[in-house]
């Protein structure tokens, strides 16, 4: 037989549930606000005490209302935060199972794909998915089995809020840890994000890829093309992360393809540049430079990455010599339309000259004494002086320096 105190508690619970059942949208919003303020951070036993051992009855009502209204976004942020009070409580495994049994994961993933839902609401959905993923391996597998990686990755690419994107990165990082069955799926999903239009999403994907790569241990062939294309970015923070990933990838089996790709970027292919020609015929030189800018940015970044790799590992520098890196660096130095390409190429070439005597002899012969003296005296200042020097060479030889270096077939082997 229950005591008077217990009967009073049960009566309060029934009254609270009845108030919820009879309330409209505004009243329910008010109830949720009070519930969050009063119960945020409580443990599962404390929630049970608050609801007279009937907390699951209120959670069931929350999940039911969520499934009925999530497509309209009605009070969605407060509703998700209220569910989060239950799922994030200490010793909340019972609540978690109850939420998952009614299709909670699928609902949260569907929220991320809805265009009419506000960004703040979607961020709360991501936070709930974080709680679920952090609850253990079987819950991470459940998210992945529900096509979660694809939904989460697509949302990261489309999100307009950097704060929300950072929350998504935390979720993806959680899914790649302690999830051997699906870690490759997360890894491939991150690679698929590299071409997206959002610089922040690219930056976060590259950061998480470094972690995923060390966990997966093997590489996917598409990662080389993906990370090299990212070097076309105008955003230095993205370029930095791409080069950091390249520094990691040279320790894997894709190293030869990666080095070959970097060297190839020093001389943009005719196929790449010709794609832009129909759009810029009869236009000003400014438009021509704008059209080629991504290729020039990629060229400069490749020269920078090659220099970093060569300084870190002499054996990599030797491998790149066989790929005719010196010839390609000389060609990049002749790019009068992009000073940073000249600068990065000259700095990298200076290191190769200092490291390999054969390269020094070859570069001296290729440049000529006057240009070579300037090159040795201060590679940092070389790109500033290239215009005037090349003007003299052009007047004497009637040929573009870049074309001359390219047609000469200069390489350490010649």
SS3 label, residue 56? helix
326 with 406: CB under 8 angstroms?
no
User: Rounded to an integer, what distance in angstroms lies between the CA atom of residue 398 and that of residue 385?
Assistant: 19
**pLDDT at position 7, please?**
83
Lowest mean pLDDT among 196-210, 283-297, 331-345: 283-297
Give the chain's radius of gyration (CA, Å).
Answer: 30
57 with 13: CB under 8 angstroms?
yes
User: And the tokens for 49?
Assistant: 């005490």
**pLDDT at position 367, please?**
84
**pLDDT at position 118, please?**
94
Maximum Cα–Cα distance across the chain: 109
18 burial class (0-12, 13-18, 19+ CB within 10 angstroms)? exposed
- 325 or 2, higher pLDDT: 325
The answer to whether residue 398 scores a pLDDT higher than 60 is no
236 with 295: CB under 8 angstroms?
no
4 pLDDT band (50/70/90 cuts)? Answer: confident
User: And the tokens for 34?
Assistant: 């009070």
User: And the tokens for 280?
Assistant: 């810029």
- 334 or 87, higher pLDDT: 87
Domain ranges of the chain: 254-414
265 with 305: CB under 8 angstroms?
no
Mean pLDDT calculated for residue range 308-319: 96
Give me the torsion for CA of 36, 37, 39, 40, rounded to 10°: 80
The CA-CA-CA angle for residues 105, 184, 171, to 5°, reads 40
Mean pLDDT calculated for residue range 278-299: 64
User: Rounded to an integer, what distance in angstroms lies between the CA atom of residue 226 and that of residue 188?
Assistant: 11
User: Rounded to an integer, what distance in angstroms lies between the CA atom of residue 129 and that of residue 308?
Assistant: 39
**pLDDT at position 395, please?**
43
Going 310 to 316 to 317 to 323, the CA torsion angle's sign is negative
**pLDDT at position 5, please?**
76
- 243 or 9, higher pLDDT: 243
List of residues 6+ apart from 90 with CB closer than 8 A: 43, 44
User: Rounded to an integer, what distance in angstroms lies between the CA atom of residue 80 and that of residue 83?
Assistant: 5
Mean pLDDT calculated for residue range 67-94: 93
Convert the pLDDT of each residue in 26-47 to its tens digit.
Answer: 999 999 999 999 999 999 999 9
Mean pLDDT calculated for residue range 153-170: 97
User: And the tokens for 131?
Assistant: 């709680």
User: Rounded to an integer, what distance in angstroms lies between the CA atom of residue 88 and that of residue 394?
Assistant: 71
391 pLDDT band (50/70/90 cuts)? Answer: very low
Helical ranges in 40-118 per DSSP H = 44-50, 55-69, 76-87, 93-101, 104-113
**pLDDT at position 411, please?**
36
User: And the tokens for 25?
Assistant: 């949208």
The answer to whether residue 316 scores a pLDDT higher than 90 is yes
Tokens 């919003």 sit at which residue?
29
SS3 label, residue 378? coil
Convert the pLDDT of each residue in 179-218 to its tens digit.
Answer: 999 999 999 999 999 999 999 999 999 999 999 999 999 9
The average confidence (pLDDT) of the chain is 87
Give the chain's end-to-end CA distance (angstroms, integer).
Answer: 100
Length of the chain: 414
**pLDDT at position 214, please?**
97
304 with 348: CB under 8 angstroms?
yes
**pLDDT at position 403, please?**
38
User: And the tokens for 156?
Assistant: 């990261």
User: For residue 311, what are the CA distances in angstroms to 319, 350, 378?
Assistant: 13, 11, 18
**pLDDT at position 350, please?**
92
Other beta carbons less than 10 A from residue 217's beta carbon: 8
Tokens 């005037």 sit at which residue?
388
The answer to whether residue 178 scores a pLDDT higher than 90 is yes
Under DSSP, the state recorded for 281 is T
**pLDDT at position 72, please?**
87
Mean pLDDT calculated for residue range 324-332: 94
Give, for 141, the enclosing helix (H) or strand (E): helix 137-145
List of residues 6+ apart from 266 with CB closer than 8 A: 299, 302, 303, 306, 325, 328, 329, 331, 332, 345
Lowest mean pLDDT among 62-76, 81-95, 369-383: 369-383
Give, for 237, the enclosing helix (H) or strand (E): helix 236-249
User: For residue 361, what are the CA distances in angstroms to 6, 320, 380, 413?
Assistant: 94, 17, 21, 12
Mean pLDDT calculated for residue range 60-70: 95
141 pLDDT band (50/70/90 cuts)? Answer: very high
Helical ranges in 313-400 per DSSP H = 314-322, 325-333, 339-355, 357-367, 369-377, 379-397
The answer to whether residue 152 scores a pLDDT higher than 80 is yes
């Amino acid at each position: 037989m229950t005591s008077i105190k217990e009967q009073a508690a049960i009566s309060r619970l029934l009254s609270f549930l009845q108030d919820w059942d009879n309330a409209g949208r505004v009243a329910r919003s008010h109830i949720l606000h009070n519930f969050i303020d009063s119960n945020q951070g409580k443990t599962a036993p404390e929630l049970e005490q608050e609801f007279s051992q009937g907390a699951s009855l209120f959670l069931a009502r929350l999940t039911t209302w969520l499934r009925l209204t999530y497509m309209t976004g009605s009070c969605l942020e407060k509703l998700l935060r209220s569910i989060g009070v239950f799922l994030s409580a200490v010793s909340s495994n019972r609540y978690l199972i109850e939420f998952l049994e009614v299709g909670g994961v699928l609902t949260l993933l569907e929220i991320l794909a809805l265009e009419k839902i506000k960004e703040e609401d979607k961020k709360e959905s991501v936070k709930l998915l974080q709680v679920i993923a952090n609850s253990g391996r079987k819950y991470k597998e459940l998210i992945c089995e529900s096509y979660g990686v694809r939904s989460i990755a697509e949302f990261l690419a489309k999100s307009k809020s950097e704060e929300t994107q950072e929350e998504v990165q935390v979720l993806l990082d959680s899914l790649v840890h302690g999830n051997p069955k699906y870690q490759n799926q997360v890894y491939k999903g991150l690679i698929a994000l590299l071409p997206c239009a959002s610089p922040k999403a690219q930056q976060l994907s590259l950061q998480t890829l470094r972690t995923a790569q060390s966990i997966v241990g093997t590489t996917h062939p598409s990662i080389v093309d993906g990370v090299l294309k990212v070097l076309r970015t105008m955003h230095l923070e993205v370029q930095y992360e791409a080069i950091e990933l390249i520094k990691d990838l040279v320790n894997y089996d894709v190293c030869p393809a990666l080095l070959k790709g970097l060297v190839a970027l020093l001389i943009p292919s005719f196929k790449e540049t010709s794609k832009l020609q129909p759009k810029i015929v009869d236009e000003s030189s400014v438009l021509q430079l704008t059209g080629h800018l991504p290729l020039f940015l990629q060229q400069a970044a490749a020269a920078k990455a090659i220099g970093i790799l060569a300084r870190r590992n002499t054996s990599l520098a030797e491998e790149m010599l066989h790929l005719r890196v010196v010839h390609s660096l000389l060609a990049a130095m002749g790019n009068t339309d992009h000073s940073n390409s000249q600068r990065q190429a000259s700095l990298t070439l200076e290191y190769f000259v200092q490291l390999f005597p054969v390269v020094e002899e070859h570069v001296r012969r290729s440049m000529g004494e006057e240009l070579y003296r300037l090159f040795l005296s201060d590679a940092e200042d070389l790109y500033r002086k290239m215009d005037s020097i090349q003007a003299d060479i052009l007047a004497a030889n009637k040929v573009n320096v870049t074309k001359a270096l390219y047609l000469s077939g200069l390489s350490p082997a010649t």
